[in-house]
A and B are shown apart, each in its own frame.
Chain A
Amino acid sequence: MNVYAKEFNESARRYTADLHHRDLIHKALSGYYAKRDEFKNRFQSWSGARDLAAEIKWEAINHLDRYLDEFVSKLEARGTKVFWAPDAQAARDYIVGVARQHQVRAVIKSKSMTAEEIHLNDALEKAGFEIAESDLGEYIVQLREEPPYHLVFPAMHLTRQQISDLFHDKLGSEPTNNPEDLTMVARRVMRRKYCKAEMGISGANFAIAETGMISITENEGNARLTTSLPKIHVALVGIEKVLPRLSDLALFLPMLATAGAGQSITCYNTLYGGPRQPGEPDGPEEFHVVLLDNRRTELLADAEQRDALHCIRCGACLNVCPIFKNVGGHSYGTTYQGPIGSVITPHLRGLQDWKHLSQASSLCGACTEACPVKINLHHHLLHNRRNAVRAHPTLLEKLIQFGFVRMMCHPALYQFAASVGRLAQPLQRWLGGTILDPVRAWAKTRSFPPLAKKSFRELWRERKAS
């Protein structure tokens, strides 16, 4: 077992036994479920909307070269500097370079999972820049020096008490149990930072090919301030974010809000099409768009799982996943948690190192059903399992598979195995939990039911005889 799988197992075991954690997550999500359903039901047809969203993303991803070209030429026509980053290193180097060139001191950043993916904050800090996360949840986890717990709700695993203690320790604020007071503490701190930062970094939710714009969805207004006041704006955009037309947002903005956060519409949905234009009162002098590949094209090359690039990072699949809710976001050890993370991480970071995530699923399919762009998530987990075994079959698994196939193809062998099982089960009382017990992993947290005295075949035979 590799180190990532070991860490996952240890962390998952710890979180699963933590009833306080489970309680907190269930409480946080119960409001989301109610609101999500309320707003889904306002759609004339949510399922029709999902079909259309899936078709639009299919069109964009399967003609990605054309749409990216269009997106970039429109952006450049209005003075945006576009950098194509084949990998994380190139993207980091470019952004650090822009900061150095302009002798930036302070950087303000709005929420971006793509920036997490390339560990941008580390790179900027190492290069000597002060960087502040402006999204409240991201700010909290930045102060705690830990990664986001959930790709949409980064501080979902913390209680107000913990956040109050954190602010008291790090910012010297008065302890309080009131979420509003805590929010105002962060507001005051950030206001000063927006005004003095020379560079703002954001992600993007959508890249509109037709008009050459990025679209950013947020509730707090921190992304708007990050992109308004500093004299440089850098947006880090995964190449898969493309939508063909501006009008596609009429569908995607409400769907993202409803699936992702149980809202009818997110508070701010903002389009940026360039640096400050002539005649405009404010906005950055320079606007840089960094287009990131970082192995997305490898996922693109897998036609079977290509639809994983349709993902709009709404987090709906995390919120319904029984595994996520029990093992928690930090157990995954990945940038993207939950079912979508388990599907794409093996592509982005290597199948053999991350194949264990394909097992972190009950294959219940709740994720696939929740996905607003109809990614075939739970089948892709099976595809990853198959591909991992195909590339590196283990001897034990081969043997088990060989035996299983033989047994299932030969009724006499099957019957023999069943009767051996029945005879051997009483031995479990003594052997249970030892290396000789074949079901020890399963039985660790469950009691094994006694096998029936007679098999179905025996009962059937008796019934037919009588």
Chain B
Amino acid sequence: MTNREIILGRIREALKVSAPHPVFHTGATEQPLFTAAPQKWLPPVGQTPGEQIDLFRQNAEALKAEFRACANMNEALQHVKKLAAVGGWKKIGRHRGELTDAVVRELGLVEVQTDHGYAVDDLESCDAGLTECEALVAQTGSVMVSAPSAGGRALSVLPPHHVVLARRNQLVSDLGAALQRVQEKFKDKFPSFMSFISGPSRTGDIERILVLGAHGPKKLTILLLP
């Protein structure tokens, strides 16, 4: 017998005795309700796109991320230039993309492009990582990234400042909507990596006191474009 058969055999043997079904929801009959959509119990999300942008801003800022809704690409570019000047950036990590290309062209910094592989030490010594994303989640203030949308796994976590460029139509109401979006987009061909990023890296492991920049970025900037 293989290990797989041993374990599945133990499970099937154990499940011969059934456990009572927890019918918690009033009105539930034989039909289990585990397929119910959780939206009506989760924190509320706004109705209009405007409300959802406000909610995203509130949540992202509460998580100590910087958020800016830009009127156009030029405004976003000026903001990244300012960040680069203030942070004294010399080298920037990024991937190829419509938005990242437009911003980086004007920055005039040394670049590490991750698209076709990179040296780890090279990326580690970058002052910032510039990426696009899959979605922004209003309910939690999270940025959803994936390997194809954010230049792989490390670009959005290794450099000390992560800058995200997103389009307005990437804003979704909640985590469920973001997951649904990637399911529809990738069907069964999922990337090997997807992540919800909610604020800069943090820890509370010393006396439960919040410190930003534990192992990942100390700063997270999210720029929303029309």
Contacts and interface: CB of A to CB of B under 8 A. Distances in A.
B174 interface: yes
A183 B15 CA distance: 46
A222 to B, nearest CB: 4
B216 interface: yes
A291 interface: yes
Interface stretch (B4-12, B74-82, B84-92, B99-107): B4-12
Interface stretch (A272-280, A324-332, A457-465): A272-280
Contact of B191 (A184, A225, A280): A280
Given A261-B204, A267-B201, A293-B10, A49 B179 contact: no
Interface of A: 24, 27-29, 31-32, 42-46, 48-49, 51-52, 54-56, 58-59, 62-65, 68-69, 72, 78, 83-86, 90, 134-137, 140, 153-156, 158-160, 163, 179-180, 182-184, 186-187, 190-191, 194-195, 211, 213, 219-222, 224-225, 227-229, 239, 244, 246-247, 249-251, 253-254, 261, 264-277, 279-283, 287, 291, 293, 297-298, 300-301, 303-304, 306-307, 374
A271 B194 contact: yes
A268 B197 contact: yes
A166 B197 CA distance: 32
Interface string B116-144: 11101100100000000000000011100
A376 to B, nearest CB: 10
Given A44-B43, A221-B157, A222-B214, A274 B192 contact: yes
Interface size class on chain B is 35 or more
Closest 3 CB pairs of A and B: A221-B216, A250-B176, A51-B24
Contacts of A84: 2-4, 6-7
A186 B195 CA distance: 24
Given A195-B124, A271-B193, A280-B191, A55 B33 contact: yes
Contacts of A271: 193-195
Given A239-B7, A303-B18, A277 B179 contact: no
A69 B192 contact: no
11 contacts: A158-B206, A187-B214, A250-B174, A264-B43, A267-B63, A267-B199, A268-B198, A269-B195, A273-B191, A283-B147, A300-B11
A179 B42 contact: no
Given A219-B204, A250-B42, A270 B193 contact: yes
Contacts of B175: 249-250, 253-254
The prevalent SS among residues of B at the interface is loop
B8 A52 contact: no
B114 to A, nearest CB: 5
B70 to A, nearest CB: 25
Interface stretch (B46-54, B148-156, B163-171): B148-156
Interface string B26-69: 00000011101010111110000000000000010011000000
A254 B43 contact: yes
A112 B180 CA distance: 29
A461 to B, nearest CB: 46
B153 A227 contact: yes
A32 B12 CA distance: 40
B206 A301 contact: no
B32 A55 contact: yes
A265 B12 CA distance: 36
B15 A42 contact: no
Count chain A CB atoms within 10 A of each CB in B13, B196, B202 and give the residue with the most.
B196
B207 interface: yes
Contacts of A213: 190
Contacts of A51: 22, 24-25
B95 A281 contact: yes
Given A86-B6, A220-B201, A65 B15 contact: yes
